[in-house]
Amino acid sequence: MTAEPLIAIRRISKRYPGVLALADVTLDVARGELLAIVGENGAGKSTLMKILAGVITQYEGEIALGGCAVRFQSTRDAQRAGISIIHQELNLVEQLSASANIFLGRERRTRGGWLDQEAMDRTAGELLAQLECHIDPRQLVCELRVGDQQLIEIAKALSFETEILIMDEPTSALAESEAARLFRVIEQLRSRGVTVLYISHKMDEVFRLADRIAVLRDGRLVETVERQRTDARKVTHLMVGREIEETDLSKPRAPGATVLSVEHLWLPWPGHARMWRLEDISFSLARGEILGIAGLMGAGRTELLECLFGASADAPRGRIVLAGREVAFKHPADARRAGMALVTEDRKRLGLFAEMSVGANITLCTLAQSARLGLVSRRRENERAAGTVAQLNIRTAGLDAPVTSLSGGNQQKAIIGRWLLSQPKVLLLDDPTRGIDVGAKAELYRLMDGLCRAGLGIIVTSSELPELVALCDRILVLCEGRQTGEFLRADATEQRIMEAATMRRASAAVGQT
Amino acid sequence: MKPTPGGDAIGPLRRWARGHSNELGLLIAIAVVVGITTALSDAYREKPLQNAQEILRQTSLLGVFALGAAIVIISGGIDLSSGSVIAFSGSVCASIMLALAPVDEAGNPMTQNLGMGIFAVAIAGTLATGFLIGTLHAWLITVVGLPPFVATLASLVGLRSLARVFVQEVTASLTATGKTTQIYINDESFSRLGTTWWIPLGIFVALSFCAWVLMSRTVTGRHLYAMGGNEAAARLSGIRTDHLKWLAYCLGAMTASIAGILYMAEVGTANPQVQGRGYELNAIAAAVVGGCSLQGGVGLIPGTMLGVLFLRIVIDAVAKIVKVGADDYEGIIVGFLVVLAVAFNELRQARRGAGKQFFPGALGATAIVTLALGAGLLCAIMVGKNAGGGMFAVSLVGLGVVAFVQHRAAARRAAAPDSQLP
């Protein structure tokens, strides 16, 4: 590059107790470019971005912005310098309106010193409209969809007159249509001259958006490559430092007898205009089969799994037959006893016990089997946990290590291991690869394939269609609580699934015009 | 995070010490306070045994229901009702005794010589009362959906009032002397329950052992920790969180009932107006000083035991050193220790004590004035008016210097990178 870089990052290191999160990273960002920053979980992407955005203030090294050295003491400093960050987990006050969130901390006032609600609502509405976000700025954030919430964060960043926008895995919670809108918004921002730093796991996004790609691994910058001169395979290779062997999941499986069948399942939605979260769902699952559930955000994937597991707030109607016996679970405990297992979507909130060790997290569901008269035998508990760690190849410093010290993929394996100890007949996996790095994903695919071949029936949901297409014997498509398609492996293409998943919305739109 | 090489190789002793740093810290703190008190006051040197017994007795009385408070806190809840449950339980226990006592010629119950049978019935009835109160809490929380704070706050306010009305009604109908606000139990062997030092201690140690086994050795205990740490995940793991809450709040209320019996026996009087007033906060404070986190999921029974002991030892130390009106200082001590213990833990865990400014900006300046006023006021009361003024001035200047030094250091750190510019 001949021109002076907009951001010059010079020899940045960040040390946490026991871990070197960033080691001597030097990186230039040109004005107006979109630089994708990729790397496995724990590679240091987020740490680097948090330093840039003033979230982390203690570090070694220097940063220069347009030639001037800067050292931000807070996000406010960074915002003043034109840098905004949109975190993976959004920073919004759910009980306040969209416009109140956009102007939070910089509220407009009338001459008398009162809040100028009208001016804020008007400006917020204009900002949002520019971003194709057609919501009422007075609406409470908690009533909005994740995609709209994210655009509120972007609108907020724009209202700061941001020159540099950092986005940390912005599509991880978005449906595909919302992601497509986000990409259009990013293009629009770039045409206004905004420089974008984009963290992502997803190669297709990165190759669609980026000018250059910076690859981090174990806290070091491996390489910065021009998009045109590389391909996804090469970047993945740089990320993991090894060639990921294409996991071969195409060997035909031989599904056995039916283990679960669902007939005319309806799940009520009290107080909502749609009345039903799920409407008339019927399907069956065989031993040794992987059934995929596809659908956009809000299609009812999670609701369906929770309802099968006895975890939904309202009791469903319809027939659920598990291993030849009709069941109606009132509590997850019933479901577990009958041979169901659910690995939840939101690992941190609904799966992990952050205060507990790796071992305790693994044995939690089945502790009674390591106990006599209610007293836990530490030896037997440790044996069982160690067996799971070995079986699933969970990389941990030991059974006593805090579970939060594991990487996302290994945390997920620990939770799957927790459920495998209960020897389930049916394993429900709700978006198991969300927020997991590439290497760990492949490992999870192989694990699921192996479990399936050992005779387990698996139902898996995912927001990533290619994943489902590669993994599943059959794919069920949901759209707004309805079953809009079912495809065998041979017929399942991303195109056809997408059509089914958007079917109802399209027809509804036609109905309105 | 990468596994540290040889992560398993550290010795079992060091690993134990790492997992119990809070307990070790409390042990050291207890030793230090005892040492200081022995140096400053004659009481510990002249009558060591008597003082030790009194401290242990007091520790046990508080400890019994602090165990219950700790279990509720670890399981992710809070029980604010224990002070009133103590008063109510004492009243119930005394009322049962009064009802079963033989009557003299004037129609008054004679409570001097009740016998084991009556004790057993009264104690069983009181424990059952505790069980029912705990059940009510669990029902309000799990079925009605009240936050634990609200459900037990209602009991805190309601049960004491109910106990007062109840005692008046009982005395009006059972005694010839008519309505009173207290019930007297004159049985000497019953009062030994609260006054003979080793009986409360024995009860406390036995209950602690049971609580320790429950929390660290049983499936139920592990599930209580899990629920406290992440309730939604616990439910989705097939744990019956409703049942666990029932257990936790019953243990909270029943340990308070046991304490109610002991406190009532200690003075031979059920006096719901004052008995156990404010004790719920002492129990919560002891659990927190002992390392329980109010977020739930964290805390150990041995830590709680040491927390109670530490609290009582500091209270006793101040009593020995100040000598008069020591009871009145209890609240100040408890408040101070809770802030100190939790702040200490926060700073240690976050490892950010080094660069932290304690008195930033206008908030810090006002806090300095508040702290100096507090110190001056205490000093004026305990030593004298002039000393109070001196203390105020010294604190103000001292804290001001701390603030100034920290501010300078922070400013220097902020300026440092700029000075390295080319």
Q: Which residues of A touch B4 (CB under 8 A)?
A: 18, 397
How far apart are alpha carbons B389 and B392 in whole angstroms? Answer: 5
DSSP state of A143: G
Report the residue of chain B nearest A340, measured CA to CA. B238
Could you read off the pLDDT of A110-150 as tens digits, one per residue?
A: 888 899 999 999 999 998 998 888 889 999 988 888 788 88
- Write down the pLDDT at residue B390: 92
Q: With beta carbons under 8 A apart, name residues in chain B contacting A333.
A: 238-240
Distance from the A407 Cα atom to the nearest Cα atom in chain B, whole angstroms: 7
Give pLDDT, residue A18.
55
pLDDT digits (tens, 9 = 90+) for A439-469: 788 889 989 999 999 999 999 998 777 788 8
**Closest residue to A364, CB basis, from B226, B235, B351:** B226
The predicted pLDDT at position A66 comes to: 87
Any idea what DSSP says for residue A405? Answer: G
ipTM of the prediction greater than 0.85, yes or no: no
Q: Tokens 């707004």 — which residue?
A: A480
With contacts defined as CB-CB under 8 Å, which chain A residues touch B239?
333, 364-365
Q: Are A375 and B213 a contacting pair at CB < 8 A? A: yes
Closest by Cβ to B237, choosing from A73, A364, A401:
A364
Closest CA to B65 of B149, B10, B133, B18: B133
- pLDDT computed for residue B393 by the predictor: 93
Q: Exposed/middle/buried for A114, CB within 10 Å: 0-12, 13-18, 19+?
A: exposed
pLDDT band of A512, cuts 50, 70, 90: very low
Q: How far is CA B103 from CA B95, B99, B116, B166, in A?
A: 14, 9, 17, 20
State the best of B14, B215, B236 to mutate against chain A, taking most chain A CBs within 10 Å.
Answer: B236
**How confident is the model at residue B5, as a pLDDT?**
40
Distance CA A292, CA A301 (A): 10
Q: B256: which 2 tokens?
A: 């308070």
Residues ≥6 apart with Cβ < 8 Å to B422: none
Contact: B218, A71; criterion CB under 8 Å: no
- Which tens digits make up the pLDDT trace of A363-413? 999 999 999 888 999 999 999 999 999 999 998 888 998 898 888 889 999
A367 and B223 within 8 Å at the Cβ level: the answer is yes
pTM, entire model: 0.80
The model's confidence at residue A159, banded by pLDDT at 50, 70 and 90, is: confident
A375 vs B383, residue with greater confidence:
A375
DSSP letter for each residue of B288-325: HHTT--TTSS---HHHHHHHHHHHHHHHHHHHHHH-SS
Chain B interface test: which of A376, A406, A420 (most B C-beta within 10 Å):
A376
User: Given an 8 Å threshold on Cβ–Cβ distance, is A336 in contact with B238?
Assistant: yes
Closest by Cβ to B233, choosing from A42, A58, A350: A350
Evaluated on CA atoms B358, B359, B364, B368, the torsion sign reads: positive
- Reported as half-sphere exposure (CB side, CA atoms, 13 A), residue A16 has a value of 12
pLDDT score of B340? 84
With bands split at pLDDT 50, 70 and 90, how would you rate the model's confidence at B118?
A: very high
- Sheet containing A68-70: give its strands across: A19-29, A7-16, A60-65, A68-70
- Rounded to 5 degrees, what angle do the CA atoms A61, A62, A68 make? 170
Taking CA atoms, what residue in A is nearest to B232?
A350
Rounded to a whole number, what is the distance in Å from the CA of A11 to chain B's nearest CA? Answer: 13
Closest C-alpha to A34, from A200, A229, A237? A200
User: Tokens 């439910």 identify what position?
Assistant: B235
DSSP state, A417?
Answer: H
Q: Is the pLDDT of residue A437 over 80?
A: no
The lowest-confidence range among A34-48, A61-75, A472-486, B6-20 is B6-20
Dihedral pair phi/psi, residue A158, rounded to 5°: -65, -35
Q: Is B151 helix (H, G, I), strand (E, B) or coil?
A: helix
Residue A507 has pLDDT above 70, yes or no: no
pLDDT tens-place string over residues B61-87: 999 999 999 999 999 999 999 999 999
Looking at residue B419, its pLDDT comes to 40
In B, minimum Cα distance to A381 occurs at: B219
Looking at A342-407, list the stretches that DSSP marks H as alpha helix, in order from N- to C-terminal side.
Answer: 358-363, 378-392
Cα distance between residue B166 and residue B153, in whole Å: 20
Q: Whole-number mean pLDDT of chain B?
A: 89
In this structure, the number of other CB atoms found within 10 A of the CB of residue A491 comes to: 12
Report CB contact under 8 Å: A360, B222. yes
Cβ A365 vs Cβ A315: under 8 Å: no
Describe the crossing of helices B219-229 and B241-267 by its angle, rounded to 10 degrees.
100
Q: Which of A17, A367, A401 sits opposite B222 (nearest CB)?
A: A367
Phi, psi angles (nearest 5°) of residue B163: -60, -40
Site of tokens 């602090």? B66
Cβ pair A486, A475 in contact under 8 A: yes
Alpha helices in A217-300 (DSSP H): 232-240
Residues in chain A closer than 8 A to B3 (CB atoms): 395-398, 401
pLDDT tens per residue across span B284-321: 999 999 999 999 999 999 999 999 999 999 989 888 88
Give the residue from chain A lying closest to B236, CA to CA.
A332
Q: What are the structure tokens assigned to A47, written together? A: 């740490």
Backbone angles phi, psi at A378, to 5 degrees: -60, -40
Looking at residue B296, its amino acid is G
Closest residue on chain B to A61 (Cα): B417
CB B314 within 8 A of CB B331: no
pLDDT digits (tens, 9 = 90+) for B391-403: 999 999 999 998 8
SS3 of chain A: helix, strand, coil, percent, to 5: 35, 25, 35
Conformational region of residue B137, where left means phi above 0, alpha means psi within -120 to 50, and beta covers everything else:
alpha
Q: Are A331 and B193 in contact, with CB atoms under 8 Å apart?
A: no
* Rounded CA separation A338/A277 (Å): 25
Dist CA B49 CA B64 (whole Å): 22
- Cβ-defined contact of A337 to B238 (cutoff 8 Å): yes
Identify the pLDDT of residue B1. 38
Q: DSSP class of residue A482?
A: E
The Cα A441–Cα B38 span in angstroms is: 64
Structure-token match 């103000």, residue found: B396
Q: How far is B166 from chain A (nearest CA, A)?
A: 40
Cβ–Cβ below 8 Å for A58 and B355: yes
Contacts of B310 (CB under 8 A, 6+ apart): B26, B29, B30, B33, B289, B290, B337
Mutation pick from A19, A312, A355, A380 vs chain B, by most beta carbons of B within 10 Å, is A355
Contact A452, A286 (CB under 8 A): no
Between helix B21-40 and helix B301-322 the angle, nearest 10°, is 20
The answer to which of A391-400, A504-513, B367-376, B410-419 has the lowest mean pLDDT is A504-513
Measured CA to CA in angstroms, residue B352 lies from B17, B95, B412 at distances of 22, 55, 17
Residue that has been written with the tokens 């927001």 in this structure: A463
